[in-house]
């Protein structure tokens, strides 16, 4: 029976319309759609979907409650494992996680777990009441450095355990990449702030405008700040450039700057908001990950006429989620694949005007298992551009690591943490998310934050799981 | 008590205002050469400002702001008792203060403000501090008394000769060298053209010269790379690697070009808002 119901598509804004606004692209299920979709779930006795989830959400349980129309109960179930479901429902790569393990997916299409998660979380935001019950305080204090996905997830779990939690956030608002990086049209900032407000209601203190490494340090927090443990979740906040001539020309942005101006500072509402963002007519975005897709789609919405993803490998190797690439393509982004710039050129005032590119072909698989791109000799050509967004990845921001003596780093500058406990080389200091793994996904960072919270809990209870 | 409240406002020159701001945690840690980033309200830019003074007991930071456009005009309209929404710091690497012997601290225009705590710290470290203060004209020469109090000698130069010697910072430096001083290090802070001119001149003299760059920034923590400065063959981020660099290695032409990134938008902002319309003093 259940198999006969097809997977429900989620309503979206039309590509031609959405390419010119910053409103959310996906509109979410209606109640009817959610119930119908939830009824597709086979309620497996041994649910494989859960093993695909980095935070092991009780997937069949919450879906059953959706099928029964008890959406608020479903939200409670969801939140048992995931304190930020409205965010995860939007930005998790479900197709490679939970949904990839769904039995229905073997013969047809998997249950739309991500869309149901999103529906339930949004329903709760709209109709739910604050639970407000605070656990008995343990008297222990934990400092969390970085208010991004890993820090927030860690904060949520620690607060649930009754510890006093303070999040130190360098920017003027918490959320990290959820606020500065992921665009409004993919993850509305109001949703992020609602989730953060929930954490505040649980008793989490968020101190914005505090750059650890400058205004205080890990050692100081533990010595005189009265914190019993520290979690470092400072992310991958150091933009990489290509290292090719012309990268300092006007019109050349790191993806971080381009997205921060637009999202965090609301440059898309300039001049009502005072931070400007400048985009020309012909935009090249270098790289093909999710950040590159966000940059390209943002450029289009800011009024660019022609936006290209420039990537030296082929479609198959693109690191972006299939859905993001698909949305970008629908909106009219060009994909200039097997192409890579070797130099940028400027006009007399220093504005970028073109890129010299090389064409590539795919050779043997490299260390990452992907076929490595090989430049074709003599294939140089000029591409006219007036804006370039460099989205080739980010490294670890060194502000905290450099100011913390005794913290072991790897040669890339990432913090070395025990894979099981996320304990670092310093007693009482834990780390997780991109600062440990290098740039990855929101949900992996959140998973790490939760894992660290469990270890910190054990550490504070004297279970000596770490040091 | 509200955080980041303006406890003192003082007009230093027609478009230049000094603000003493309550920010105890920043004041506890700040060192000469560092900067803060401020925001007025929800819709404001993040504006980097080099620290002019700090008082650890009172828990205050002093900044000096020149009205050069929309956002700086908005700030300068703040009155005593009102507050900044955000005030982040201390940011950047502090000045390298040690006993060098004889040092020259050059401040040009608004640049006299950030040179002030550096001169004071250098003097406290035992240096013989000679300050060269320059401005276009006498009215714009700020903080004379304050600088005199932290310098062993002060030389004043103005473009039009309305105060001190007519000429530039190099004119002042020539005077000092003519008196037989052996200058070990120079700090030069001011408009890009002034720092470029000083650096070019001192390179020929072989005197180490440190400049403080003020590029466009957003986060101030090394996250966005807007503040890229070419120093020798390397690209540096002024917010985390600077703001001070070896003036003989900085590519000033590029730095000046990059300051013009949002010139068109600046004009749009002025047209949109009630502020900054007669900016550019």
Q: Could you tell me if A188 and A215 are in contact, meaning their C-beta atoms sit under 8 angstroms apart?
A: no
Pick from B281, B273, B67: which is nearest to A274 by CA? B273
**CA dihedral of A177, A182, A188, A189, whole degrees rounded to 10:** 30
Task: Locate A338 and state its tokens.
Answer: 């097997």
SS3 at position A137: coil
Say what the pLDDT of residue A440 is.
87
Peptide linkage before B243 cis (omega within 30 of 0): yes
Burial of B267: CB neighbours in 10 Å, binned 0-12, 13-18, 19+:
middle
What percentage of chain A carries pLDDT values higher than 90?
80
Pick from A283, A118, A96, A289: which is nearest to A187 by CA? A118
pLDDT tens-place string over residues B80-111: 999 999 999 999 999 999 999 999 999 999 99
Residue the block writes with tokens 């894992």: A451
Q: Which residue of B has its CA nearest to A402?
A: B240
Q: Could you tell me if A208 and A287 are in contact, meaning their C-beta atoms sit under 8 angstroms apart?
A: no
pLDDT tens-place string over residues A168-206: 999 999 999 999 999 999 999 999 999 899 899 989 999
Task: Locate A186 and state its tokens.
Answer: 């993919």
Q: In chain B, where are the structural domains located?
A: 4-91, 102-212
pTM of the predicted model over 0.90: yes
> Does A278 sit within 8 Å of B261, measured CB to CB?
yes
Residues in A touching B89 (Cβ below 8 Å): 211, 214-215
pLDDT tens-place string over residues A152-165: 999 999 998 999 99
> Does B25 sit within 8 Å of A215, measured CB to CB?
yes
pLDDT exceeds 60 at position B278? no
CATH number of B102-212: 3.40.50.80
Say what the pLDDT of residue A39 is.
94
Distance CA A134, CA A58 (A): 23
pLDDT tens-place string over residues A231-278: 999 999 899 999 999 999 999 999 999 999 999 999 999 999 999 999
User: Mutation test of the interface with chain A: which of B3, B219, B233, B271, choosing the one with the most A Cβ atoms within 10 A?
Assistant: B219
B223 near A CB under 8 A: yes
Say what the pLDDT of residue B279 is.
42
Q: What pLDDT band is residue A366 in, cutting at 50, 70 and 90? A: confident
The domain defined by B4-91 folds into Elongation Factor Tu (Ef-tu); domain 3 (2.40.30)
Distance CA A149, CA A147 (A): 7
Hey, how many other C-beta atoms are within 10 angstroms of the C-beta on B89? Answer: 28
């Amino acid at each position: 029976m259940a198999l006969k119901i097809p997977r429900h598509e989620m309503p979206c804004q039309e590509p031609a319309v959405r390419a010119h606004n910053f409103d959310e692209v996906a509109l979410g299920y209606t109640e009817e759609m959610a119930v119908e979709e939830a009824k597709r779930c086979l309620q497996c006795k041994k649910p494989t979907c859960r093993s695909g989830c980095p935070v092991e959400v009780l997937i069949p349980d919450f879906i059953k409650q959706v099928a029964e129309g008890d959406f608020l109960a479903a939200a409670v179930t969801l939140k048992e494992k995931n304190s930020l479901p409205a965010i995860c429902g939007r930005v998790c790569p479900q197709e490679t996680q939970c949904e990839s393990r769904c039995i229905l997916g073997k013969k047809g299409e998997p249950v739309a777990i991500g869309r149901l998660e999103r529906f339930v979380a949004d329903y709760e935001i709209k109709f739910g009441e604050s639970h407000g019950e605070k656990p008995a305080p343990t008297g222990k204090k934990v400092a969390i450095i970085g208010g991004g996905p890993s820090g927030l997830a860690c904060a949520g779990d620690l607060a649930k355990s009754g510890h006093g939690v303070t999040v130190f956030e360098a920017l003027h608002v918490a959320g990290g990449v959820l606020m500065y990086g992921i665009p409004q049209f993919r993850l509305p900032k109001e949703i992020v702030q609602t989730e953060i407000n929930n954490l505040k209601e649980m008793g989490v203190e968020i101190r914005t405008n505090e750059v650890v490494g400058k205004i205080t340090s890990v050692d100081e927090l533990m010595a005189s700040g009265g914190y019993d443990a520290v979690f470092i979740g400072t992310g991958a906040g150091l933009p990489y450039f290509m290292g090719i001539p012309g990268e300092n020309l006007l019109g050349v942005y790191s993806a971080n700057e381009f997205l921060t101006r637009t999202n965090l500072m609301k440059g898309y509402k300039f001049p009502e908001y005072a931070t400007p963002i400048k985009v020309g007519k012909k935009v090249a975005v270098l790289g093909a990950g999710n950040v590159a897709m966000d940059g390209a789609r943002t450029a289009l919405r800011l009024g660019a006429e022609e936006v290209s993803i420039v990537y030296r490998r082929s479609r198959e190797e693109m690191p972006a989620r299939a859905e993001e690439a698909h949305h970008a393509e629908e909106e009219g982004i060009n994909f200039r694949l097997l192409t890579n710039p070797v130099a940028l050129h400027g006009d007399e005032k220093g504005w970028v005007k073109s890129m010299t590119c090389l064409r590539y072909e795919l050779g043997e698989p490299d260390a990452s298992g992907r076929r490595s791109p090989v430049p074709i000799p003599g294939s140089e050509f000029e591409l006219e551009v007036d804006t370039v967004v460099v989205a080739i990845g980010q490294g670890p921001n060194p502000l905290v690591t450099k100011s913390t003596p005794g913290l072991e780093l790897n040669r890339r500058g990432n913090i070395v943490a025990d894979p099981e406990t996320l304990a670092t080389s310093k007693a009482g200091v834990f780390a997780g998310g991109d600062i440990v793994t290098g740039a990855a996904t929101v949900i992996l960072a959140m998973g790490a934050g939760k894992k660290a919270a469990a270890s910190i809990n054990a550490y504070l209870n004297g279970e000596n799981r770490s040091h | 008590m509200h955080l980041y409240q303006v406890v003192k406002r003082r007009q230093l020159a027609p478009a230049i205002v000094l603000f003493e701001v309550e920010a105890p945690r920043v004041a506890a840690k700040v060192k000469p050469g560092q900067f803060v980033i401020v925001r007025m309200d929800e819709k404001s830019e993040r504006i980097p400002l080099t620290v002019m003074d700090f008082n650890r007991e009172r828990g205050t930071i002093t900044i000096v702001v020149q009205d050069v456009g929309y956002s700086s005009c908005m700030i300068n309209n703040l009155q005593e008792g009102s507050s900044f929404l955000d005030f982040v710091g201390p940011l950047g690497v502090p000045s390298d203060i040690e006993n060098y012997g004889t040092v020259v601290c050059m401040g040009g225009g608004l640049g006299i403000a950030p040179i002030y705590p550096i001169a004071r710290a250098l003097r406290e470290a035992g240096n013989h501090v000679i300050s060269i203060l320059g401005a276009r004209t006498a009215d714009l020469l700020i903080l004379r008394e304050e600088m005199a109090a932290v310098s062993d000698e002060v030389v004043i130069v103005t473009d039009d000769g309305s105060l001190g010697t007519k000429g530039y910072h190099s004119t002042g430096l020539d005077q000092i060298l003519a008196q037989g001083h052996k200058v070990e290090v120079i700090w030069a802070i001011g408009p890009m053209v002034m720092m470029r001119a000083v650096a070019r001149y001192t390179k020929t003299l072989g005197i180490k010269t440190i400049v403080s760059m003020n590029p466009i920034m957003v986060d101030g923590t090394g996250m966005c790379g807007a503040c890229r400065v070419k120093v020798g063959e390397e690209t540096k981020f002024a917010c985390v690697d600077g703001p001070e660099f070896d003036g003989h290695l900085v590519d000033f032409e590029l730095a000046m070009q990059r300051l013009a990134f949002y010139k068109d938008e600046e004009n749009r902002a002025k047209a949109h808002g009630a502020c900054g319309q007669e900016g550019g003093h």
